[in-house]
Amino acid sequence: MPSYLLFTASAGRRLVYASIVALACACSDSVPPADIVPSTLNEELRGKVVLVPSINSAVWASDPLTLSDVAIDGDTLRVRVTYGGGCRRHALQPIAETVWLESYPVQVHARVAHNAGADPCDALITRSLHVDLSPLKELYRQSYQSSSGRIKVRLAGAKDVPVYEF
């Protein structure tokens, strides 16, 4: 199993959020308090896309989530992610394939791998992810020997197909 890039809050906020969650009794009594993490409040999370041979590989977790508000600004993909949980740490890792779909502009399959950590809770969690797409830009430059380009990012579960221009 790959080591996921965990999008998490700072350690100080984590303690405050965990206390709020514990006081609200959002989770069942069978979940040890040490497993409670800050996942009931909206927050902004940042990370880099990981390039993989196939986004459908069983190596990458695929627990349910919903994507909305997908947009690209500069080198950053912004997407709102919603999933059920609230009692355990969730791992979210944006991944994109290293294979181009030849068209104009070229296209690439991508998704947000989600490992819910067997979270038994049902709170609706929403996160705003800010994903650095520069690894895609570098792969494009190597593939096409061009300093500029356009890539349609076919993000699984998203209604829109944003275009990454550089």
Reported as a pLDDT band with limits 50, 70 and 90, residue 14 is very low
Q: Which domain holds residue 117?
A: 11-165
- pLDDT of the residue at 43: 64
For residues 56 and 139, the answer to whether their CB atoms sit within 8 Å is: no
6: in domain:
no
4: in domain:
no
**What residues are paired with 97 via a beta bridge?**
52
Give the count of domains, the chain.
1
CATH number for the domain including 99?
2.60.40.2370
Tokens describing residue 24: 């609200």
113: in domain:
yes
3: in domain:
no
Amino acid type, 3: S
Give the pLDDT confidence of 128-156 residue by residue, as tens digits: 999 999 999 999 999 999 999 999 999 99
pTM: 0.74
